[in-house]
Structure 1
């Protein structure tokens, strides 16, 4: 069983990998804003992804400021992103099914309530 913290961490890692695959040249500030976390939090996430071998750092050669980096997914990072995508999709499908069941139950309850109201008004 995963904890809420672990799920949030996995979700954040997944979102960072997803964005970096499409935009490896994003600055940490831009990436943090896109993911919805602080720059410090993003730095921690990037460090973890680099330590796991999922992301590597390269110089962003097109930048005037040569201190800018690009964050490139490694083959392991691409595989992890694919695996995380499957997990994320399964989670969202489960959430969708649960929400759909709740909506159906509420619709049924509303129909029952309206039927009771019509019966009580007609007496």
Structure 2
């Protein structure tokens, strides 16, 4: 699982602990099978624990709760994610500036 996917899974589960795996799959734009794999991975790493609860229609459901290790992992992953996004931004900004110069120097542009 990539840092980006770890980040997105942990962020969604932190803000929506009662989300179903189907909800999570839809939010992340990945298949239900991939979602199940991701959820199992963060549980196996000790970053998320699962609690059972009953929904109002008396069906058993789950709540995905970040553990202290999960919160620490999310913080580390978020810092790396932010660093990567800033680098992407700077590269894109430089590319835009270069393209703008090319268009500005082109008499037909």
User: Is 2:13 aligned against 1:27?
Assistant: no
Question: Which one has a larger percent helix, Structure 1 or Structure 2?
Answer: 1
Q: How does 1:59-70 map to 2 (within 5 A)?
A: 59-70=52-63
What's the CA shift for 1:64?
3.1
Contact 1:54 1:76 in 2 (8 A): yes
Q: Does 1:12 align with 2:11?
A: no
**Per-residue CA distance 1:55-88 (angstroms, 9 max, x = gap):** 0000134443442101100000011111111111
Between 1 and 2, higher relative CO (CA 8 Å, sep ≥ 6) is seen in: 2
Q: CA deviation at 1:108?
A: 0.6
Q: Distance in 1 between matches of 2:85 and 2:32?
A: 27
Q: Which has the higher strand share?
A: 2
Query: Is 1:49 aligned to 2:42, yes or no?
Result: yes
What do you get for the CA RMSD once the two structures are aligned? 1.4
Aligned residues between the structures? 108
Give the whole-Å Cα distance in 1 for the aligned partners of 2:69 and 2:56: 27
The worse-fitting range, judged by mean Cα deviation, of 55-64 and 20-29 is 55-64
Tell me by how many angstroms 1:13 deviates.
1.3
The normalised TM-score by structure 1 is 0.82
| Structure number with bigger Rg | 1
Task: Answer yes or no: is the 8 Å Cα contact 2:3–2:81 preserved in 1.
Answer: no
Preserved CA contact (<8 Å) 1:53 1:76? yes
